[in-house]
């Protein structure tokens, strides 16, 4: 019997019985609250918007503090994300707040890939959580969850329509994060223009199928306010950390030569609506939606990509163990196949090399034979030459001996004639 069958049976057999007295489990919600408070909370906001649209100022205004961060230049070669985490405390509630902001968004001539670093950042946080979840020894309760709970998308107060960069980016992000679009620096736009601008933005988002975050209306206690606020989206906000004395109160405002804009005045802008919706009313829903909707989708796709399935081809439940075994066998099979392929390739290569070597050896032999023959011919030629030279030498020697003999005979004959002539000369009285 499967776990669901058992659960169903237990459910069917379950009877309501009255308690005779106080037991104490009515304190469970309080226990939960106390535990949560002692653990603390974490909330991660991503601000996406062009450089100088007032992202940092709005964060400072929202949390009533001065966060760190330098203004970006307009010369960034690409889009980057800057993340800072802060520990905040309000009453006895601790909040680990992470503010991630785009740097250089919308500053490049080619903005085609501007959304990519943002998508990659969001995915990287999901991946880190998934890796922690898949660990054998996981410590999720102390793990710093960096998944983005809310994405404030800053729209420039042009009064026209959404830029294609905004539409493309929001479209790429809407299945990964809760998008809350806001019209930044809304003091730059007149009241009537703002109404039209809001309508235009909403219709463009709808016609392009961009899913923005809707404040939940299923909880009765907040259904009314959330329902009303959904109709006010996108919120037109103004940010300022400057405090001015208005009446006898210090208020956050922006002062202009012609007057003062009060940030927290609902007649001037939607800042209070945003703060209420984002922080006071729906922070927990944003966290929950991130986990149950966006992370769940990421996890499902990732596990399916890795080959995990809940059911087999016959729609029967498929356990993790079976998936693992199937994957392991598939992997081993592939490994064997690869091994065989590599062996075949090796044998083939050896054969080729052997043939190459044989060919080279044959060539060497031929060369050797050729050289040997050449050498023999040369040797024979030299020997012939030597022989002819020796013959010549012998003939010369013979000639030389004959000549010497002839010369000696000649000289003998010469000397006897001289003697005879001397005798004759003596006789004649010359000597």
Interface residues with ligand GTP (CB under 6 A) are 49, 51-57, 71-72, 101, 185, 187-188, 238-239, 254
Dihedral pair phi/psi, residue 180, rounded to 5°: -115, 105
Could you tell which of ligand GTP, Mg ion, none binds residue 169, using a CB distance below 5 to 8 A set by kind? none
Under the binding rule (CB under 5 A), the answer on residue 186 touching Mg ion is no
Query: Which is closer to ligand GTP, CB of 56 or CB of 98?
Result: 56
Could you tell which of ligand GTP, Mg ion, none binds residue 57, using a CB distance below 5 to 8 A set by kind? ligand GTP
Query: Which is closer to ligand GTP, CB of 48 or CB of 122?
Result: 48
Query: Which is closer to ligand GTP, CB of 147 or CB of 185?
Result: 185
- The CB-of-61 to ligand GTP minimum distance in angstroms stands at 8
- The CB-of-235 to Mg ion minimum distance in angstroms stands at 19
Q: Which residue, judged by CB position, is nearest to ligand GTP in the bound state?
A: 54
Could you tell which of ligand GTP, Mg ion, none binds residue 176, using a CB distance below 5 to 8 A set by kind? none
CB atoms within 10 A of CB 404: 10
Q: Which span sits near Mg ion by CB under 5 A: 54-62, 165-173, 179-187, 224-232?
A: 54-62
The pairing of beta strand 179-183 with beta strand 150-155: parallel
- The CB-of-111 to Mg ion minimum distance in angstroms stands at 19
151-182 burial, b at 16+ Cβ within 10 Å, e below that, comes to bbbbbbbeeeebeebbbbbbbbbbebbbbbbb
Could you tell which of Mg ion, ligand GTP, none binds residue 54, using a CB distance below 5 to 8 A set by kind? ligand GTP
CB atoms within 10 A of CB 79: 22
Taking CB under 5 A as the criterion, the residue among 56, 114, 125, 262 binding Mg ion is 56
Query: Which is closer to ligand GTP, CB of 72 or CB of 222?
Result: 72
DSSP code, position 341: H
Could you tell which of ligand GTP, Mg ion, none binds residue 51, using a CB distance below 5 to 8 A set by kind? ligand GTP
Task: Find the angle CA(43)-CA(135)-CA(138) to the nearest 5 degrees.
Answer: 55
Query: Which is closer to ligand GTP, CB of 154 or CB of 215?
Result: 154
Helix pair angle (115-134, 164-173), 10° resolution: 10
Rounded Cα–Cα distance for residues 306 and 147 (Å): 21
Asked whether the beta carbons of 227 and 281 are under 8 A apart, the reply is no
Helices (H) and strands (E) in the chain, counts: 11, 9
Q: Which of 231, 240, 242, 237 is nearest to 272 (CA)?
A: 237
Q: Which residue, judged by CB position, is nearest to Mg ion in the bound state?
A: 56
**Which residues contribute to the site for Mg ion (CB under 5 A)?**
55-56
């Amino acid at each position: 019997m499967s776990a669901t069958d058992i659960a169903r049976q237990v459910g069917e057999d379950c009877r309501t019985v009255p308690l005779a007295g106080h037991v104490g489990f009515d304190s469970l919600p309080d226990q939960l609250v106390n535990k949560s408070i002692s653990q603390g909370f974490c909330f991660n906001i991503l601000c996406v918007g062009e450089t100088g649209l007032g992202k940092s100022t709005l964060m400072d205004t929202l949390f009533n503090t001065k966060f760190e961060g330098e203004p970006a230049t307009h010369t960034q070669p690409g889009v980057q994300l800057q993340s800072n985490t802060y520990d905040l405390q309000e009453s006895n509630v601790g909040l680990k707040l992470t503010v991630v902001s785009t740097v250089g968004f919308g500053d490049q001539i080619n903005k085609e890939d501007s959304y990519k670093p943002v998508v990659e950042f969001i995915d990287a946080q999901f991946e880190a959580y998934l890796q922690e979840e898949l660990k054998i020894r996981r410590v999720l309760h102390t793990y710093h969850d960096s998944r983005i709970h809310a994405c404030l998308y800053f729209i420039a107060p042009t009064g026209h329509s959404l830029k294609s960069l905004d539409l493309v980016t929001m479209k790429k992000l809407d299945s990964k994060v809760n998008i809350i679009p806001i019209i930044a620096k809304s003091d730059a736009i007149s009241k009537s223009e703002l109404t039209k601008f809001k309508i235009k933005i909403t219709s463009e988002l709808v016609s392009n199928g961009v899913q923005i975050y809707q404040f939940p209306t299923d909880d009765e206690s907040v259904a009314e306010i959330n329902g009303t606020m959904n109709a006010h989206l996108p919120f037109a906000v103004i940010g300022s950390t400057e405090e001015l004395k208005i009446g006898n109160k210090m208020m956050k405002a922006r002062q202009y030569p012609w007057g003062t804009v009060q940030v927290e005045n609902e007649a001037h802008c939607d800042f209070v609506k945003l703060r209420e919706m984002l922080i006071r009313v729906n922070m927990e829903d944003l966290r929950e939606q991130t986990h149950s909707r966006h992370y769940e989708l990421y996890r499902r796709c990732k596990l399916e990509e890795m080959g995990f399935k809940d059911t087999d081809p016959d729609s029967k439940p498929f356990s993790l163990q079976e998936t693992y075994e199937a994957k392991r066998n598939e992997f081993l099979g592939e490994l064997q196949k690869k091994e065989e392929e590599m062996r075949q390739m090796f044998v083939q290569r050896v054969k080729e090399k052997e043939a190459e070597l044989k060919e080279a050896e044959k060539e060497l032999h031929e060369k050797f034979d050729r050289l040997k023959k050449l050498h023999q011919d040369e040797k024979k030629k030299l020997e012939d030459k030597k022989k002819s030279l020796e013959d010549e030498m012998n003939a010369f020697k013979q000639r030389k001996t004959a000549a010497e003999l002839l010369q000696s005979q000649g000289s003998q004959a010469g000397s006897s004639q001289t003697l005879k002539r001397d005798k004759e000369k003596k006789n004649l009285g010359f000597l």
